[in-house]
């Protein structure tokens, strides 16, 4: 299982790269000032970073209990990303609505767009992170 230091490196890397990608993209797609979108993305990333640590720690403990290890199949990685984003959407919806002064429906559409982007991003980032920083226990079995 990953160490606390490794989990912090994972979360910081994920959020810093995410902010760099999403701020200008979100401002462009939703026709909002970059500063407004950037501040929203930083606030969201801060919440997401805390959620990332808590969620991944809990998920890994549950996976360890159920399967005896923490290696994830492709299908499990998809489930992991979808469940993560669903939980985060619940937290971010009111923040987006209040911060940008938009209706809950508009905030939902924005939140859904961010969630879809981040599901794909999380899948790619986590797979790359696991490739670059594999755990010793994973050398025994290949990732299907």
Residue 25 tokens, joined:
């993209």
pTM of the model: 0.67
Instruction: Name the average pLDDT for the chain.
Output: 89
Tell me the per-residue pLDDT of 2-29, one tens digit each, with 9 for 90 and over.
Answer: 888 998 899 889 989 999 999 999 999 9
Q: What are the structural domain ranges in the chain?
A: 4-134
Q: Which of 90, 102, 29 is nearest to 55 (CA)?
A: 90
Can you say whether the dihedral through the CA atoms of 47, 50, 53, 57 is positive or negative? negative
Give residue 43's pLDDT.
93
């Amino acid at each position: 299982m990953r160490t606390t230091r490794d989990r912090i490196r994972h979360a910081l890397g994920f959020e810093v790269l995410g902010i760099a990608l999403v701020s200008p993209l979100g401002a462009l797609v939703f026709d909002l000032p970059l500063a407004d979108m950037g501040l929203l993305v930083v606030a969201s990333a801060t919440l997401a970073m805390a959620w990332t640590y808590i969620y991944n720690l809990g998920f890994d403990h549950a996976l360890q209990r159920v399967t005896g290890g923490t290696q994830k199949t492709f299908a499990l990685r998809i489930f992991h990303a979808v469940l993560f984003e669903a939980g985060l959407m619940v937290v971010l919806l009111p923040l987006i609505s209040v911060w940008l002064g938009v209706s809950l429906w508009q905030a939902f559409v924005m939140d859904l767009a961010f969630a879809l982007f981040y599901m794909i991003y999380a899948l790619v980032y986590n797979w790359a992170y696991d490739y670059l920083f594999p755990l010793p226990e994973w050398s025994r079995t290949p990732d299907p």
